[in-house]
Amino acid sequence: MAACLAPKARLADLIVRFMAAYASAEHHHACSRDVKFLAARERSAVLASERRVVAAFAEAIGALRPDLRGTRLTKPLAMLLFGMINWTFTC
């Protein structure tokens, strides 16, 4: 659904959906921090999911800011955005 939206609405939709999932997944946060303790197969699955989420946000940022495509900044900007979202739930 988000892929059909205009770039600004797409990024906003991803943020809203991610924050809704993040807010209700407190018990899963420990899993993210402790992924190194999982069996290799499970660790690979978690890391692959994380990569898909980061890629979706990086693509949305690139769509909103086409001038950043090719600069390799969309992924770091996505990670900065995740940091901001994370701080939202630590206050």
**Cβ within 8 Å of residue 5, ≥6 positions away:** 13
Q: Which residues have a Cβ under 8 Å from the Cβ of 14 and sit 6 or more positions away?
A: 2, 56, 57, 60
At residue 69, the pLDDT reads 83
What's the pLDDT at 91? 55
State pTM to two decimals: 0.83
Which of the two residues, 50 and 86, has the higher pLDDT score?
50
> Domain limits of the chain?
6-86
* CA-wise closest residue to 18 among 44, 51, 53, 42: 53
pLDDT higher than threshold 90 for residue 88: no
Q: pLDDT per residue over 12-66, tens digit each?
A: 999 999 988 887 776 665 556 788 888 999 999 989 999 999 999 999 999 999 9
